[in-house]
Chain A
Amino acid sequence: MSPTNIITALYVFALAAFLGYQVISRVPPLLHTPLMSATNAISGISLVGSIVIAGGTGPHHSKVAMVLGFIAVVCSTTNVVGGFVITDRMLRMFKRRETKK
């Protein structure tokens, strides 16, 4: 990482933190459980890092790293898919008025 990259990364981090604070403080307590599972699914984006490692980058890619990457892919995908499915399931249940069956 070059110094400019580090600074850029810190900018991104700081701005994301402010933005996150603004966006998330508006979420009502009603939706705090879906919020937690949604952010969980979203942070499963670390999957993109795991994918590259599991795919064995570089000319002399390491087998150990690939195995670790593979496990990470499984964990992250479970979070992404499970997180989104559950969030959807929960949000479908929130209704303003009761629906007569």
Chain B
Amino acid sequence: MNWQTYFIEFSYLLASILFILGLKGLSHPETAKRGMHMAEFGMMMAIIGTLMHFEIVSYTWIIVGLLLGSTLGAAMGVWVPMTAMPQRTALSHAFGAFAAALVGIAEYYSYTHGFKPLAELGQVKMGAMGFEIMLGSLTTTGSLIAFGKLQGIVPGKPLVYRGQNIFNMTLLAVTIGLFIYLIFVPTAVIPFYVMLGLAFVFGVLLVLPIGSADMPVVMSLLNSYAGLASAATGFVLGNNVLIIAGTLDGFSGFILSILMCRAMNRSITNVLFGAFGSAATATAGEGEQGTMREVSMDDVAVQLAYASKVVFVPGYGLATAQAQHAVRELANVLEERGVIVKYGIHPVAGRMPGHMNVLLAEANVPYSQLYELEQINPELSSTDVSVVIGANDVVNPDARDNPSSPIAGMPIIEVDRSKSVIVLKRGQGKGFSGLENPLFFKPVTGMLYGDAKDTLTKLVGAVQHA
């Protein structure tokens, strides 16, 4: 080994260690920033190390690529609003997976077109490469569809048709069949490109039937796939830092998927193949609804102003209405009057894990006021007013009380235990899941219709005059 190789390998080792330390920092908000700076430094070292690679013939495209990517990345990083974080994340999963797929295709091309000795392309390498390309391509298109759904370009409702699961499974089976064939006959170029194409199509079909409310699981799962595709790249190139970073990413996504599924009391297969939100309406509407009680702005303002403890429960509606700053203003006014304000955050509130926390943090809400599901539930019986902002399923008491409900067993924030519940809602329609919510018909609940941001801003004024 010459000195360059040592330098490169050392930079990769350093990067691996710093990545792990960086993620370890994320176990607490106080240490997180320092952790990220370490990871950033590690990344820089790894890139500098790679540029020393003695095999590199021309730097032109590398530099153009780095500059172009940095510009795009920095622009996205600076200008994307916090409410659009799920879309941005979906897009970055697509980019990451696409890069992995491209590296795999480039390697395959080089081997089969005589640029690299074909003898070196053994079964193990072909296996890793096929895995990388398959996972990379399906994650690319899957993430793009997720992006489209989150951005509103693709309809958020699940897209289902008869025999969908059978069709998708067959497609996947054919793709995997081609993959296995390629392991034994790596030079079969046509099956290779067919496999590539089918993987792209499968990604689209995989995400289309999944409803918007299940996005937190899908996002985590795509995160996991993108990571594993990177790890597979590491196997293909024989590069340890790639394996380590890809595996960390893959497992992070995997753990998040499990947490999200647990927070909905559903299995991953159910999310992927259940097409939730279309068939669910069948069990809803059993007639025990009664009437919803609409309350006036002033009434709510008085309740809030003379409460001793108020809990806000945000949902995706908070993000769509961009109401995070308005909540904060209302909370400020209440705190000045001596009201204790807390926020109860359900793990699957919003469109990605932790979505609500980030939005509220953006509005300058201190994180000591953000409470997890298990922490806030015991406090609700001593809460005077719970304010539900654009959340629906996560506060649906049917999950707890009605065993035949499609969301039965899902842990919820039990706002109906508090003395009064105010639901801020755009209209009388059902939530994304299409489920009826008995909370809205309980005597303790008052409905306040209108745009959440608008309502909250008006409430600030009303509380000040109360």
Contact = CB atoms under 8 A, between A and B. Distances in A.
Q: Do A and B come from one complex?
A: yes
B98 interface: yes
B20 A23 contact: yes
Interface in B233-255: 233-235, 237-253, 255
Given A13-B243, A46-B246, A77-B69, A60 B59 contact: no
Contacts of B61: 54-55, 66, 69-70, 73
Given A30-B367, A48-B241, A77 B89 contact: no
A91 B116 CA distance: 45
A23 B23 contact: yes
Contacts of A97: 366, 368
Given A24-B251, A49-B233, A73-B65, A36 B113 contact: no
A95 to B, nearest CB: 5
A46 B80 CA distance: 24
Interface residues of A, number: 86
Interface in A26-56: 26-56
Give the dominant DSSP class at B's interface.
helix
A35 B51 CA distance: 28
B65 A65 contact: no
Nearest to A92: B33
Contacts of B230: 43, 45-46
Contacts of A35: 23, 26, 252, 256, 353-354
B425 interface: no
A3 to B, nearest CB: 8
B99 interface: yes
Q: Report the contact-size class of chain B (Cβ under 8 Å from the partner).
A: 35 or more
Contacts of A94: 29, 32, 361, 367
A63 to B, nearest CB: 9
B65 A31 contact: no
Contact of B235 (A9, A55, A60): A9
Interface in B40-74: 40, 43, 46-47, 49-51, 53, 55-59, 61-62, 64-66, 68-70, 72-74
Contact of B124 (A1, A62, A68, A99): A1
25 contacts: A5-B238, A9-B243, A12-B240, A13-B235, A30-B367, A31-B357, A33-B355, A37-B89, A38-B22, A40-B226, A48-B46, A56-B58, A61-B115, A62-B113, A64-B109, A69-B61, A73-B99, A76-B96, A79-B96, A87-B36, A88-B36, A89-B78, A94-B367, A97-B366, A98-B364
Interface of B: 12, 15, 19-20, 22-24, 26-30, 32-33, 36, 39-40, 43, 46-47, 49-51, 53, 55-59, 61-62, 64-66, 68-70, 72-74, 76-78, 80, 82, 85, 88-89, 92-93, 95-96, 98-100, 102-103, 105-107, 109-110, 113-116, 122, 124-125, 219-220, 223, 226-227, 230-231, 233-235, 237-253, 255-256, 259, 345, 347, 352-355, 357-358, 361-362, 364-368, 370, 372
Complex A-B, nearest 7 residue pairs according to Cβ-Cβ distance, in ascending order: A77-B69, A85-B77, A32-B354, A81-B73, A73-B65, A82-B73, A55-B56
